[in-house]
Structure 1
């Protein structure tokens, strides 16, 4: 059994396909397949089986995966001791509920200044759970009560929503969420504003992502319930009522439970976990002290 074969197996599980793994490793899919076949021959067992969600590690493959992840961590730790100037490298795809990930561009920029060899791709996905399940994303910024069992993650902070409008602007026009977001996030945090059929029945102008809705309110299009941590930081916006606790939702950083995070992903999770918690909790404390 060779470490390089284990490394290719880790990459295939994390990426979700030989093609995607090859892209990350800088080789073609045939090379990835050949390496994993060699590993299966060396251990004498199949490492993948077919599931409704695609290929997943077998039970024995999951045990091997845990060992491979520990070896990888030891190699990374050794490299950090003998060559501390060598940085992690890799590529991480991020999806956020309703496009909320765009709100944290400053934190992502700060991360890339610390780890410039880790490239970050922001996806236009509306549902991070779906994107991670089907391996389109590696990391999700998910506005959910609790992650499903197939996901692992950390809870960052609870976010509140309140109604906002352009300072000095018109108040009559209410805005809502569109059918696309209503289908992607049914019955969840979007219920703070009318959505889908309900919004259409009211004749509302609707939007299908957080950046669209926030910009619409900033442009004086109308009023809507927005995330307080972001809207309170906009001097052009005015809060029109107090948050309703029923609209509160936690923000989670989530990833696939069955795929050990790569060093690049682990580094991003550690960084964002601290940076986002600091931002959200600081703003919550500031609002409490000023009220």
Structure 2
């Protein structure tokens, strides 16, 4: 939306600034930056031909015209909330979460913790090795291997990820190779090339074969260490160590269902990191 538009988004931001009494607290509540809010409030005043705020060192104080607009918009806001509220007993809000194969496997084992008891969200896992486009809402939450750098995204570091070779006791020392465009698959391809016992195109199948004592699989330690039938058969690989980040859009992270999901995911990672 263009910043000079008198659309509902700008009016909603006006309410946030007026209620918070300043740009910084309103920025924390809306996910917009103080600079963006300041520009939008100035543009809104020009478009309406009214002075809505008295700018002070310690904040923004609504003028009488600003307070009158607040009163009018409060009624409109209440109507919008009533019209868009989910009906009682209706469908739970959908939260789309994208992650790689291993993170998806880790989270599926903790599904009840994420959806709540009783469930208050409908969680859709999108397991993909590629990075989905959060700005265009292909997913609401993404678990990524790096800090987000795209404009409008927010991130939280969840912890470190390491990879090591795993095998069942007594399994033959032969590699199970994953043919995929991932750092771990590329590393293994460089190390062993065509010298692999078996190749699979889905990372999860390498775990299945390792559990069946067919050979050695390269796995993240947060997966391999939790498999009762596997043990490490080598050191972690420094080249594959990386951070894991939870990523979402600045605006989406304030949606109640997204906020709940983020809090639960972070609690899971905080607990398992101890």
Contact 1:98 1:126 in 2 (8 A): yes
2:94 to 82, 91, 96: 91
Distance between the aligned counterparts of 2:253 and 2:108, measured in 1? 25
Alpha-carbon separation, structure 2, partners of 1:189 and 1:254: 22
Unaligned runs of 5+ in 2: 12-35, 42-73, 79-88
Query: Which residue matches 1:218?
Result: 211
1:143-154 equivalent positions in 2, closer than 5 A: 144-150=145-151, 151-154=153-156
Distance (whole Å) between structure 1 residues aligned to residue 243 and residue 204 of structure 2:
19
Q: Who wins on radius of gyration, i.e. which is larger? A: 2
SS in 1 for 2:206: helix
Shift of 1:203: 5.2
SS at match of 1:265: helix
Segments of 5+ residues of structure 1 without an aligned counterpart are 1-8, 10-36, 44-58, 65-70, 76-85, 283-291
Aligned mate of 2:167, from 165, 173, 176: 165
Label 1:38 to 1:99 Cα distance change in 2 as closer, same or farther (>3 A).
farther
State TM-score, norm by structure 1.
0.58
Kindly state the Cα deviation for residue 217 of structure 1 after the two structures are TM-superposed.
1.4
In 2, Cα distance between equivalents of 1:199 and 1:254: 34
C-alpha separation in 1, matches of 2:110 and 2:206:
21
Q: Which range is displaced more, 227-236 or 204-213?
A: 204-213
Task: Specify whether residues 213 and 225 from structure 1 end up closer, same or farther in structure 2 by C-alpha distance, changes over 3 A only.
Answer: same
Q: What is the distance in 2 between the residues matched to 1:122 and 1:115?
A: 19
Between structures 1 and 2, the one with greater helix share: 1
Structure 2 match to 1:252: 245
Q: Distance in 1 between matches of 2:172 and 2:156?
A: 40
TM-score scaled to structure 2, two decimals? 0.61
Deviation at 1:238, TM superposition (A): 1.5
Counting only pairs closer than 5 Å after superposition, residues 119-198 of structure 1 correspond to structure 2 as: 119-127=122-130, 129-142=131-144, 144-150=145-151, 151-171=153-173, 173-178=174-179, 181-182=180-181, 185=182, 188-194=183-189
1:231 aligns with 2:219: no
C-alpha spacing 1:199/1:100, structure 2 compared with 1 (3 Å): farther
Structure 1 residue 41: Cα displacement: 11
Conserved? CA contact 1:95–1:131, under 8 Å: no
Whether the aligned pair in 2 keeps the contact of 1:163 and 1:226 (CA below 8 Å) is yes
Using the TM superposition, name which of 148-157 and 262-271 deviates more: 148-157
CA contact (8 A) 2:10 2:40 kept: no
Q: Is the 8 A contact 2:157 2:244 kept in 1?
A: yes
Q: Secondary structure, in 3 states, of the residue corresponding to 1:194?
A: helix
Q: Give distance in 2, aligned partners of 1:233 and 1:148.
A: 32
Could you tell me how far apart the structure 1 residues matched to 2:258 and 2:248 are? Answer: 9
How many residue pairs get aligned? The number is: 203
Confirm or deny: 8 A CA contact 1:156 1:251 kept in the other structure: yes
Instruction: Give 1:71-90 correspondences, 5 Å limit.
Output: 89-90=92-93
